[in-house]
C-alpha cells in the first residue's frame, strides 16, 4: 500500500470516529453559545454574568472531565487487546470519581460570590453571575456521570450515541432558555440565571438517555456494565485513573484557565470589554471543535493500535492526523479573517463591542494552527498513556508565561501601555505556539522508544 493510500485509509477512519465527536462537541459548545446569544438579547450585563460565571465553572468542570479522559485510552487499549471483560470494572470505578468530584464542586459553586468579589467583578452583573453558579451546582452530578458513560462508548469506538444525545440536548437547551430567560409559559423571567436552570434540566435529560442506551445496546451485552450495579473501590484502578488522569486534568485546567481567567481579569474594564472578549472566545472555541475532535479520535485509534501491538501503525496515525488537522486549521483561520467584521453581530449590536471583537478575531485566526497541532500531539500522548509531560508543559506555557504576561500587557503599563483585551490575545498566540512545539518533541521521544520498553510501560497502565 502506498503512502497516499495509507494516509487516505487512516484519514477515513479518523473522520468516521471524529465526525460524531465533532458534532457532539459542537453541540456542547452550542449550549454555551446559545446561552451567550440569548442572554445577550436581554442586555450586556446578562451576557457578562454568564461569561464571568462560566469563567469559574468551565475550568473546574473541565478539570474533572480531564480525569475521565484517562478512561477513554484505557478502554480503547483493552478493546484492541480483546480484553473487553475488563471494561465494566473500569466504568464502575468511575462512579467513585463522579461522587468524589461532585462534592467539592457543589461547595465551590454555591459560594461563587466570594470568588467574584475577590476578583473585583463589576457590581452591575455580580449578583446574576453568583446566582448562575449556584443553580449550576445542581447539575454537576449528572454532567460528570454522563462523561463517565460517554468515555466508555468513545473508548469502544462507538462515538455516535454521544453525538445524538448532545445534539438533542442542545435543541432542548434553546427551548428551555427561551422559557426561563424571558419568562414564557408562566415561568419567571430569570435572565442570566435562566440559562443555568435550562442547562441543569438538559444535564439530567442527557445522562438518563445515555444510561438507557448503554443498558440496552446489543453492542455492549458482552461487557455487562449493569450486571453488577456496585462494587467496592479498587485502589489499583482508581490509582491508575488518577495517575493518568490528573496530568490530563491539570493540563486541561491550565489551558482553560489561561482563556477563562482572562474574563475575570478584564471584568473591571466593564461589560463592553468583557462581552467583546467573550465573542472572540466563543468564536475560536467553536472553530477549535474539529481539531479537538481529531485529538480525541486519534487517542482512540492510537490506543486501539497499541492494544493490538502495532506501534508502527500508531506512529503513522499520529502524523496523518496532524496533516489533516493542520489543513482544516488553515481553512478555519481563513474563515475567521474573512468574516471577522460580521461574526460579532451574531452576539451583539453594540457598536463598541463589535469593533473590539472584530480586532480580537485576528488573533483568534492566528492561533488556530498551533492550537490544532497541540490538540493532535496531546491526543496522541494520551493514547500512549504518557500524560505527565502534559502537566509540566501546560503549567510552563500557560500559567508561568501566558497568564502573568497577559495580565501585564492588558492591565498595566510595565511593558507597553495597557492594551486591554488585546494583551491577553497576544499571549494566547505565543503560549499555544510554545506548547505545541514542546508536545511534539515529547511525542517523538516516546515514539522512538524500543518496542519492548514501550509495551512494558503500556501494560503497567492497563
Q: Kindly write down the DSSP assignment for every residue of 292-337, as one continuous string.
A: HHHHHHHHHHHHHHHHTT-HHHHHHHHHHHHHHHHHHHHHHHHHHH
DSSP percent split of the chain into helix, strand, coil, nearest 5: 85, 0, 15
Q: How many CB atoms lie within 10 A of CB 138?
A: 18
pLDDT at 1 > cutoff 70:
no
**According to the model, what pLDDT value does residue 299 have?**
93
Cβ partners under 8 Å of residue 264, min gap 6: 52, 55, 56, 119, 121
**According to the model, what pLDDT value does residue 99 have?**
94
The three cell numbers of residue 296 are: 480525541
**According to the model, what pLDDT value does residue 462 have?**
65
pLDDT at 321 > cutoff 90:
yes
Q: Place 377 in a pLDDT band, splitting at 50, 70 and 90.
A: very high
- Note the pTM of the prediction, 2 decimals: 0.83
Q: Summarize pLDDT for 429-439 with one digit per residue, the tens.
A: 999 999 999 99
Give the distance from CA 54 to its chain's centroid.
13
Of 22-36, 239-253, 364-378, minimum mean pLDDT range: 22-36
Amino acid at each position: 500500500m502506498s503512502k497516499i493510500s495509507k494516509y487516505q485509509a487512516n484519514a477515513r477512519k479518523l473522520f468516521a470516529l471524529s465526525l460524531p465527536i465533532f458534532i457532539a462537541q459542537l453541540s456542547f459548545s452550542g449550549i454555551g453559545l446559545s446561552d451567550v446569544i440569548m442572554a445577550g438579547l436581554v442586555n450586556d450585563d446578562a451576557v457578562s454574568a454568564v461569561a464571568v460565571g462560566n469563567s469559574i465553572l468551565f475550568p473546574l468542570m473541565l478539570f474533572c472531565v480531564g480525569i475521565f479522559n484517562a478512561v477513554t485510552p484505557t478502554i480503547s487499549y483493552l478493546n484492541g487487546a480483546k480484553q473487553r471483560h475488563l471494561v465494566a470494572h473500569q466504568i464502575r470505578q468511575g462512579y467513585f470519581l463522579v461522587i468524589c468530584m461532585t462534592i467539592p464542586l457543589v461547595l465551590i459553586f454555591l459560594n461563587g460570590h466570594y470568588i467574584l468579589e475577590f476578583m473585583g467583578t463589576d457590581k452591575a452583573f455580580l449578583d446574576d453571575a453568583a446566582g448562575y453558579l449556584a443553580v449550576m451546582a445542581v447539575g454537576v452530578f449528572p454532567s460528570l456521570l454522563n462523561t463517565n458513560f460517554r468515555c466508555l462508548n468513545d473508548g469502544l469506538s462507538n462515538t455516535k450515541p454521544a453525538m445524538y444525545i448532545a445534539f438533542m440536548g442542545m435543541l432542548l437547551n434553546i427551548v428551555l432558555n427561551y422559557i426561563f430567560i424571558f419568562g414564557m409559559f408562566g415561568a419567571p423571567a430569570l435572565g442570566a440565571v435562566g440559562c443555568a436552570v435550562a442547562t441543569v434540566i438538559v444535564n439530567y435529560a442527557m445522562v438518563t438517555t445515555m444510561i438507557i442506551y448503554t443498558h440496552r445496546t446489543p453492542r455492549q451485552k458482552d461487557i455487562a456494565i449493569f450486571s453488577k450495579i456496585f462494587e467496592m473501590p479498587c485502589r489499583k484502578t482508581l490509582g491508575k485513573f488518577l495517575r493518568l488522569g490528573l496530568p490530563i486534568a491539570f493540563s486541561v485546567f491550565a489551558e482553560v484557565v489561561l482563556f477563562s481567567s482572562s474574563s475575570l481579569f478584564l471584568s473591571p474594564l466593564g461589560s463592553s470589554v468583557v462581552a467583546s472578549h467573550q465573542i472572540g472566545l466563543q468564536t475560536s472555541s467553536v472553530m477549535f471543535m474539529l481539531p479537538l475532535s481529531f485529538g480525541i479520535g486519534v487517542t482512540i485509534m492510537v490506543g486501539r493500535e497499541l492494544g493490538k501491538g502495532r506501534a508502527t501503525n500508531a506512529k503513522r496515525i499520529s502524523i496523518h492526523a496532524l496533516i489533516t488537522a493542520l489543513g482544516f486549521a488553515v481553512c478555519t483561520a481563513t474563515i475567521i479573517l474573512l468574516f471577522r467584521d460580521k461574526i460579532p453581530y451574531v452576539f451583539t449590536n453594540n457598536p463598541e463591542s463589535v469593533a473590539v471583537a472584530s480586532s480580537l478575531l485576528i488573533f483568534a485566526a492566528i492561533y488556530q494552527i498551533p492550537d490544532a497541532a497541540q490538540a493532535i500531539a496531546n491526543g496522541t500522548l494520551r493514547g500512549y498513556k504518557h500524560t505527565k509531560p502534559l502537566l509540566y508543559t501546560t503549567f510552563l506555557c500557560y500559567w508561568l508565561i501566558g497568564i502573568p504576561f497577559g495580565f501585564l500587557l492588558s492591565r498595566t503599563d510595565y511593558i507597553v501601555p495597557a492594551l486591554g483585551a488585546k494583551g491577553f490575545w497576544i499571549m494566547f498566540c505565543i503560549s499555544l505556539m510554545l506548547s505545541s512545539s514542546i508536545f511534539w518533541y515529547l511525542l517523538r521521544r516516546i515514539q522512538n522508544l524500543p518496542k519492548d520498553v514501550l509495551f512494558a510501560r503500556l501494560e503497567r497502565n492497563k
